Amino acid sequence: MESIFGYMESYDYENLLLCQDKALDFKAIIAIHDTTLGPAAGGCRMWQYDSEMDAIEDALRLARGMTYKYAAAGVNLGGGKTVIMGDPKRKDREPIFRALGKFINRLGGKYITGEDVGTTLQDMEYIRMETEYVVTLPTYLGGAGDIAPMTAFGVIRAMQACCKRVYGSDNLEGKRVTVQGLGAVGHNVIEQLHELGAKLVVTDIDPEKIEAMVARYDVDKVDPDAIYDVECDIFCPCALGAVICDETLARMRCKIISGSANNQLKEERHGGLLEQKGMVYAPDYIANAGGTIYDTDRLCVGGVSHKRGKEKVSRIYQNMERVFEIANRDKISTCLAAERMAEERIRKIAEVKKYVDDLKP
Ligand code: NAD
């Protein structure tokens, strides 16, 4: 990125805020991409960046990703993100997260933060001491608690919509699913797929996690790298990003990819290559939106309701159907169709919002 304003203009960003406190050794960047649909929301990442420009670019890029995620999910929130420049293992966390809470509070609700890479639920509690504009909180602070089960549920709803497209039925019973990564989301995916009667093959780099799944459910296991060679109906990546690349695509023998990992495609072109191989791909930010849909539901309507939240997450199925419609209509990949779906929604809601509620001058 050579010019900050140039970059902001090219993707139509609204705001970029720099926050610092020398005594606390605190430096943070808040990026707000688009608030057409509602206040910007997006987590707070803590990371050691090589340069300030790298940190700014990361905040801006991630904020834009959140705009697309919420727009495509049908949620009335815009996209934002915070990055704190610093060691994510830093010990004295209360002062810096409370300072961040103060800065966020000044924005009066224009931006809502949450947990992300390098930050913890405890950090969110510190932020909550200074502002109400924070999600990913435990239930005892009015939050939704652990969202991983809902992320897993959303991934499975996307999977079901993909099955309907490929097999004409969304029944997962008997479908062979490979699950990569048995962490917070992955183990919930296994639990829920097991109940739906899927046949499971699992892997993780942590052998203890594999053994725990094998002991608990009727699942097969493979070594981490061997997961790409397993013949299956569905590959469910729930570990790292960039797992879909030239090398793995040449090996994969699945019909569907639907998982929770962020940024699954190593490069954008891999979205097109998938389609050429006849695979159906659930774009990551559509499939993995369940947790945040559930978590932010209380902001839009008021109060946590498990039933309502789950129902909204369930609509990921319909969101995928819409992605397929656009992909068919415009003869494009599901990745491009998801982007188009988000952009169309923002454009149309902007149209609705031009009508003023209060006609007083
Ligand atoms: P986690 O850290 O709890 O679990 C990740 C698991 O992947 C760990 O068990 C780890 O050992 C394993 N792993 C790492 N590298 C691996 C490899 N090469 N092969 C196999 N296993 C490997 O993380 P999580 O919260 O379950 O999230 C999983 C992914 O989903 C991440 O990419 C995350 O960004 C994304 N995601 C999570 C949520 C959520 O609600 N937690 C929401 C949206 C997106």
pLDDT at 1: 85
| Active-site residue flag, 81 | yes
Ligand 1 centroid, distance to 185 Cα (angstroms): 7
CA distance 323 to 326: 5
What confidence tens digit (pLDDT) does each residue in 172-187 have?
A: 999 999 999 999 999 9
Look at strands 44-47 and 176-180 and give their pairing. Answer: unpaired
Question: Within its chain, how far is the Cα of 236 from the centroid?
Answer: 15
Is residue 206 lining ligand 1, measured as CB closer than 6 Å?
yes
State which of 120, 205, 295 you would mutate to test the pocket of ligand 1, scoring each by most atoms of that ligand within 8 A of its C-beta.
205
What confidence tens digit (pLDDT) does each residue in 221-259 have?
A: 999 999 999 999 999 999 989 999 999 999 999 999 999
pLDDT higher for 357 or 340?
Answer: 340
Ligand 1 centroid, distance to 260 Cα (angstroms): 8
Which residues pair with residue 235 across a beta bridge?
A: 178, 257
Q: Which domains does the chain have, with CATH numbers?
A: 4-66+76-136 (3.40.50.10860), 148-288+319-340 (3.40.50.720)
Which residues pair with residue 17 across a beta bridge?
A: 30
Choose the catalytic residue: 27, 69, 81, 312: 81
Maximal CA-CA distance, the chain: 68
What confidence tens digit (pLDDT) does each residue in 75-109 have?
A: 999 999 999 999 999 999 999 999 999 999 999 99
Ligand 1 centroid, distance to 239 Cα (angstroms): 4
Tokens encoding 141: 């602070």
Ligand 1 centroid, distance to 223 Cα (angstroms): 16
pLDDT of 313 > 80? The answer is: yes
pLDDT of 301 > 80? The answer is: no
Mean pLDDT over the full length of the chain: 96
pLDDT of 361 > 90? The answer is: no
Report the predicted TM-score, pTM, of the whole model to 2 decimal places. Answer: 0.94
How far from 312 is each of 65, 77, 96, CA to CA, in Å?
A: 20, 14, 34
Is residue 232 lining ligand 1, measured as CB closer than 6 Å?
no
State which of 147, 208, 240 you would mutate to test the pocket of ligand 1, scoring each by most atoms of that ligand within 8 A of its C-beta.
240
pLDDT at 299: 86
Q: What is the 3-state secondary structure (H, E, C) of 74-136?
A: CCCCEEEEEEEECCCCCCCCHHHHHHHHHHHHHCCCCEEECECCCCCHHHHHHHHCCCCCECC
CA distance 205 to 220: 15
pLDDT of 154 > 80? The answer is: yes
